[in-house]
A and B are shown apart, each in its own frame.
Chain A
């Protein structure tokens, strides 16, 4: 008798299956791809603190590419780049902060942990729909012959498009407004070339986030170092990309051609091109987290944090999955999803989202996206351009000039500064 059907062996699903199996429940973990991670792509970094409690010492065995010891945020205009660059040796030793990895490796590894705990992983199987009886989810249909599976609890971890959450009415069928499209190129470069170009050694790696490189389409760029490749891409508002009629791969080409980025990627060869949607609506556009007989986790629930300086998804998927698995038994016994919701409310999963609920609107606003990178770059260029024989113009005059040139009124700057203070307080 199956107790829990988990749909999707991504980070959320495998975390859920792991905890439910450890609790002694009979767990089936369905994955539509030939192996976990085969349908997944991310722009990113995995922050593993959420794993400490359940997989102590995970960093010894996780399939890590590099540990992020250097984090840069860049503001770009067509001709300028301003970089805030931070590095810490703390992040290069246990317990570490974040790592780069490939999802085929990472998701397969985490699913393996669920299997070790007793979950049954079934790959190459699509959950095609819900079985609902008397208003309660009692199982899923699959594309296997005689493929109906029944269980007292279904955990939907079926990703950003979650057709299960949609079928249950927990997620709108379309919501281009609250989705971004991420496209990514993985570019081969010899390990020593990466070490040299990015000033890192051994397992150290770099995470670069870039603003102002997407032709005014709300979003941003990213560049991460893997062992012997770079992950380079953009994440842009689906609604605005569509309206601008710009092709996503052209934005990546722009980024790679930027004078501040081109020297990093020179001579690198395309190894793989990927694309994926990301739920970036934040707290105000999450899915309903449950319906009788079903819990929703990870991207399916919209639990992806895109809050400017914080760009996190895999850890939120794991965090929500762990909570779903941990409380599966009590949800089954009580017939009520309350323990799951309470666990999320009591953890970073919903607390970070709630605290940063205003971030998506601010970060994707027209001024932050289109005007401030130029304003800041012009201001800094003014400060560092020596204008002899004329005397230095003074910072306030430079600010006024940069604001005017970029179409920003100083009262807007002040208002946005206050808004930013409120959002990120």
Chain B
């Protein structure tokens, strides 16, 4: 999803995300239960996540990557699948590091 295609303003999404520092933790701080996602018709997380970390899979589930997460909380706020998302903060000192926030 967040592939190589050039963004709307000519900036590839990966290049956009490459401007952000992430201190990636070993532990995934967000866990997605794809079985719950399969019954979700909206999959709001896919477009709402500003880091574009949620991708629908061919079998109706969701593929999720925690590494380049802004920790904003958008995904669990818009998720309508009961228990689909387990959301915690990354371990202390890890995750996103904003310099110009």
Contacts and interface: CB of A to CB of B under 8 A. Distances in A.
Q: Do A and B bind each other?
A: yes
11 contacts: A34-B97, A37-B101, A39-B71, A41-B101, A123-B92, A128-B89, A142-B92, A184-B101, A241-B48, A274-B70, A276-B70
Contact of A176 (B17, B78, B95): B78
Size band of the interface chain B makes with A:
35 or more
Nearest to B27: A143
A275 B77 CA distance: 14
Contacts, number: 141
Contact of A102 (B8, B20, B77, B100): B100
A228 to B, nearest CB: 11
B78 A238 contact: yes
Size band of the interface chain A makes with B:
35 or more
B101 A273 contact: no
Contacts of A231: 100
A249 B77 contact: no
A38 B79 CA distance: 26
B101 A253 contact: no
Contacts of B16: 249, 270, 273
A274 B98 contact: yes
Contact of B92 (A124, A275, A276): A124
A92 B7 CA distance: 38
Interface in B23-67: 23, 42, 44, 47-48, 50-52
Given A42-B101, A242-B47, A124 B93 contact: yes
Contacts of B94: 124
B7 A277 contact: no
Contacts of B76: 174
Given A181-B50, A242-B44, A271 B9 contact: no
B19 A270 contact: yes
Contacts of B93: 32-34, 123-125
Given A34-B93, A277-B77, A270 B11 contact: yes
A364 B47 CA distance: 21
Main secondary structure on B side of the interface with A: loop
Interface string B83-100: 000001111111111111
A128 B27 CA distance: 14
B40 to A, nearest CB: 13
Interface string A123-145: 11110100000000000001110
> Which of A161, A175, A183, A254 has the most chain B CB atoms closer than 10 A to its own CB?
A161
B47 A247 contact: yes
A242 B78 contact: yes
Given A246-B47, A275-B50, A126 B101 contact: no
A52 interface: no
Contact of A143 (B19, B44, B92, B98): B92
B77 to A, nearest CB: 5
Given A174-B77, A270-B19, A229 B100 contact: yes
B72 interface: yes
A257 B9 contact: yes
A271 B100 contact: yes
A344 interface: no
Contact of B98 (A38, A125, A175, A256): A38
A181 B9 CA distance: 20
